[in-house]
Amino acid sequence: MPDMHQNTNNMNFDQLQDYAMGIIHTVCGSFSRPIEMMFLRPRHGTRYFNIAQITLSTLGMLLLPAFAGAADTAKNLVPFMHATPPPGFFDIGSFSRLFFLASLAHSFRLYRRMIKPETELHSQFEGPPLPFFHLLPKGRSFWFTRIVLEPLFVYIAAGILANFLIITPGLCLFLHFSALCLAIKEFVDWYANWIFIRNLLDSRNAGPLISKLVEDTATQEDLAPIHLASFPKAISPELRQEAAEYIARTYDVNIRS
């Protein structure tokens, strides 16, 4: 029978898992936000990116060009090692400027939605995928598109642009890392939704089993999925009912009276 200590441990584990998933989602979303906002999510909702992701991605786009410039300067200070500019038309600095221009353009659109909430159906919706994804295999699948196709598109596109010397190797590396972060973030979203639905199904399926336990008709095979043992035969009906109600509260289910 589950006790309070076991229930508390389960709650602590679930809370720890939710906390870890939240950190992963925020960090990965901070790196993927530039490519999502500029290329993949032109119609994202007002709350699709949280404040932490907006803040971290903005700071990142401010600091990355500075770090890249500092690294080039440091190389030039080394005797007999004068760094040549990396091949490519667009570098991290160009990408950063494009990011802030896109942020400015999106700010007007999002501000209009914020002051007129009726213009937005759901504030956390990222918007539909780009139309050409529907032409790809499994492109109609919501999660497959977001976990596999979109990150793969960014990864391949960055490699092609780097090979044609359109973007620098440094920017290509950043886009590859952003594509990986995008896949991880979307997988965390999918997993969180799966947990929510699975908890609902588990609660629904546990109700009839606990009802059988109250009626003393449950077999060991019935109780095995919810890790319970049958009551002793000599237990009173009142105690059986109280114990079953306690178990039902533990599993957050309703049982038949």
Average pLDDT, the chain: 82
Query: Does 133 lie in the same domain as 213?
Result: no
- Who has greater pLDDT, 208 or 142? 142
- Length of the chain, in residues: 257
Q: Are residues 157 and 222 in the same domain?
A: no
Pick from 177, 200, 223: which residue ends a domain?
A: 200
Residue ranges making up the domain that contains 133:
21-200
Predicted local distance difference test score (pLDDT) of residue 241: 65
Residues 89 and 193 in one domain: yes
**3-state SS string over 96-133?**
HHHHHHHHHHHHHHHHHHHHCHHHCCCCCCCCCCCHHH
Q: Total domain count for the chain? A: 2
C-beta separation of 52 from 30 below 8 A = yes
Do residues 34 and 144 both lie within one domain?
yes
Helix (H, G, I), strand (E, B) or coil at 248: helix
Please determine, for residue 136, whether its predicted confidence score (pLDDT) is greater than 80: yes
Helix axes 92-115, 169-215, angle to 10 degrees: 50
Counting residues of the chain whose pLDDT is more than 70, the rounded percentage is 69
| Residues linked to residue 90 through DSSP beta bridges, in sequence order | 167
DSSP secondary structure letters along 196-235: HHHHHHHHHHHHHHHHHHHHT---HHHHGGGT--PPPTT-
pTM for the full predicted model: 0.79
pLDDT for res 143: 95
Closest CA to 48 of 64, 32, 60, 61: 32
